[in-house]
Structure 1
Amino acid sequence: MRDITLKPTTLRSARAAGYVRLPPETIAVVRSGEVEKGDVCGAAKLAGMMAVKRTPDLLPHCHPIGVLKTEMEAQVVDDGIELAAEVQTIAATGVEMEALTAVSIAALTVYDMLKAYAPAEAMKIGNIRLLQKKGGKSHFKRALKDALGGARAAVLVLSDTVAAGRKPDTAGASVRDRLAEAGFDIVAYDIAPDEPEQIRAWVQAWIENKADFVVTVGGTGLGPRDKTVEAVQPLLTTELPGFMETARAFGQARTPYAMLSRGIAGLSGSTFVATFPGSRKGAEETLAAVLPGLVHLIEVCRIARPHEGGYE
C-alpha cells in the first residue's frame, strides 16, 4: 500500500450513489412486501454498512481505517431502487472507496433478492458514482494557488557540523524541495553555524526583504549551541503557537522524542517565520504537519494584506 505516514489526519467524508433498474412488475412485488427473502431496502442498507467495514479486505490498495459514521439510503422509485451511502472518518486517507463499495454491495443485494422476480435482461445495476468528497488535500490544500505567482520562501540551515563541511545537509534540502513542490519561490537556501547574532541578522534581512516565509532548520533542541529559538523569538510581532504545537503532536505520534523540540513560529510584520528541527525526519514531519495551515496563512495574508510592490 502507498505510504501515508506523512499525511496529516483530517475529517474526511464521501457520498456515493447507485441504481438498480427493475421492471414494473418487480417493483410492485417490492412495494407489496411479498419478496420471499424479506425487506429489500432494509437488507440493502444493512449490506452496505457491512461492506464499508470490509472494503480493505476487497481492495488490495485500500488502507484499513476507523470509520466513524455510515449512513445508507435505499428508496423505491418508479423504475427501480435508488441507493446512496455517506461515510465519515478522521484519518490520513479518504473514504471514497468505502462509500462506493457500500453502494455496489447494496446494489448486488437488491439484485440477489429480486432475481427470482424479473428476467435477467430486465435488471440492470448502474450509475454507481462518487457524488462528493471532503477533507484531505482536496479540501485542505497543500500547495499554493498558481495565481499567487509563487510566494517567496527563504531557508536557513543551522548546524556547526554542516557549516564546517563535515557532513551534508539533508534536512534543509528536503524542506527547500518540498516547499518548491508546494508552489513557493525559493529565494534563499543558506547554511550557517549556530551563532545567535548571525541567525538573527539573516532572518531580519529576509523580513525586511518582504519574504513571505522564512524557515530555519536546526537549533531547536536542548544542546548548548541550540540557540535558534532565542535568536528568532524577539523578531516575532505575533506568535502563532498552534503551528508548532501541531508539529509536535504530529511528531509525537511517530516518535516519543518530538516533545523535546522547542520550535516556535509567528508573524514578523507580514512575514511568517518558523523554526524547524534539524534532523531530516523531524523537519519533514514538521512541514507535513503544518503545510495546510501554512498555505492557508500565506494565501489569506497576501489577499487580506497586499504586500508592497504590487502583490494582490
Structure 2
Amino acid sequence: MRTVDVSYKLQTLREAVAYGRIKLSKGCIEKIKNKELPKGDCIEASKLAGLYGAKNTPMLLPFCHPVGFDHAQVEISIGDGFIEVTAKVRGIARTGYEMEALTAVSVALLNIYDMCKGFDSNMVIEEIKLVSKKGGKSQYFENLKGVKVAVITVSDRASRGIYEDKSGKLAVEKLKELSAEVVFYKVVPDEREEIQKAIKEAISSGAEVVVTSGGTGLGPRDITPEAVSEIALKEIKGFGEAMRIFGSQYTPKALVSRASAYVLPEGIVVLVLPGSKGAVKDYLELLGGLLKHALDMAKGKGH
C-alpha cells in the first residue's frame, strides 16, 4: 500500500466545498436554537469540531497527504427538521482538499449527533457529498489528443551509436501517455545545422509540438537552446523558469540547466529539455498538460 506520488505536481491554488445534512426532531432542533443542550452551544461547537476534522484528516485517513491549507470555514444552518453543514477548504498545494472538506462536514455532523443523542434517538445523517473543487490538474491541464508531436534527441555519442538513446525514447512514451500522436523521432549530433534540419523535418512530417532532449548544459557542445532560438519567433520563458524552479527542489544543480521552450513562426511549440531520463520524465509530467494550451495560443486561438 502507498500514497499517490504528487511530488512532480505544481503547487496551485485549490479549493474544495463539501455539504452534509442531518435530520432531527423538531423538539431537538428547538433545544439547539435555544442553547438548552447540557453540553453547550451545539452550532458553534460543531463548527469548531469541523475545523478540527479538516486539520486531522491525514490522521484519520491513511492515504491522504498531510498537506497544510490556508483557509477552512464551516457554516451551519438550521432548517425545518434538519441541519445543514457546508465546509470550504482552500490553499496552495500539490494535491486537492476534497477529503479535508468532506471530513470537516462529517465530523461536524457527528458532533451534532453526539450532542443531541440524549434527546433524539432517530437522528439520521442523510447525505455527505462534495459540492465543488477547483485547481490542479483537472482545471489547468489538457491531454494532447489530436496533437502531432516529434522527439529529437541531441547527443554526439548517441548519434554515433556509442550508447542507446534512452531519454528520447522515454519522451516518446510520456507523450503517448498524454494521448499525443508521435509522427517523428530522430537522434542528431550536437550540431546547430543538424538540430535545425531535424526540426524542419519534424514540421514537414506534420508535428505541431517538438520536444528535444539534450544539449542544455554549459559545455562547449551544448547548443540546443541557441540552435532553436535562431529559428524561433518567441521564447516561452515561463516554461524554462518553471523547470529550473521545480528541478531545484530535487537538486540545486538544476539551476544551471538552460531548459527552455520556444514558438516558431509556423505556430510550432518547441520544448527544449535536458538529456537525462529523470529530467525528461519530471518535466513532461510537469508541463505536458500545458502544451496544448501553449499550442493554441501560438496558433492565435487565444486563452
Question: Which amino acid letter does the alignment assign opposite residue 284 of structure 1?
Answer: K
Q: Check if 1:274 corresponds to 2:277.
A: no
**Structure 2 residue aligned with 1:308:** none
1:28: Cα distance to partner?
1.0
Identical amino acids, percent of aligned pairs = 40
Are the aligned partners of 2:186 and 2:198 in contact in 1 as well (CA < 8 Å)?
no
Give the drift of 1:35. 1.1
Q: Deviations over 1:191-226 (max 9, x none)?
A: 122122111111133345552111110000012211
**CA distance, structure 2, for counterparts of residue 191 and residue 242 of structure 1:** 27
**Ranges in structure 1 where 5+ consecutive residues have no aligned partner:** 306-312
1:250-291: per-residue Cα shift (whole Å, max 9, x none)? Answer: 111121111111122121021011210001111222222222
> Who is 2:91 aligned against?
89
Match of 1:28 among 23, 26, 30: 30
Q: How does 1:96-115 map to 2 (within 5 A)?
A: 96-115=98-117
Give the distance between the partners of 2:184 and 2:87, measured in 1 at CA.
49
Aligned twin of 1:178:
174
Q: Which letter maps to 1:127?
A: E
Q: Which of these residues, 148, 155, 168, is aligned with residue 164 of structure 2? A: 168
Whole-Å Cα distance in 1 between the matches of residues 174 and 87 of structure 2? 36
Equivalent residues of 2:150, 2:202 under 8 A apart: yes
- 1:8–1:288 contact (8 Å) kept in structure 2: no
Q: Per-residue deviation at 1:298?
A: 2.4
SS of 2:295's equivalent in the other structure is helix
Secondary structure, counterpart of 1:215 in structure 2: strand
What displacement does 1:41 show? 1.0
Residue in 1 that maps onto 2:132: 132
Q: Please give the alpha-carbon distance, in whole angstroms, between the structure 2 residues aligned to 1:191 and 1:68.
A: 47
Aligned residue among 186, 193, 199 for 1:190: 186
In structure 1, how many angstroms separate the alpha carbons of the residues matched to 2:205 and 2:234?
Answer: 18
Separation in 2 of the partners of 1:68 and 1:292? Answer: 26
Alignment of 1:211-230 (within 5 A): 211-230=207-226
Instruction: Give the TM-score of the pair, scaled to structure 1.
Output: 0.91
- Superposition CA RMSD, Å: 1.6
**Alignment-mate amino acid for residue 38 of structure 1:** G
Count of aligned residue pairs for this structure pair: 299
Find out whether 1:249 has 2:245 as its counterpart. Answer: yes
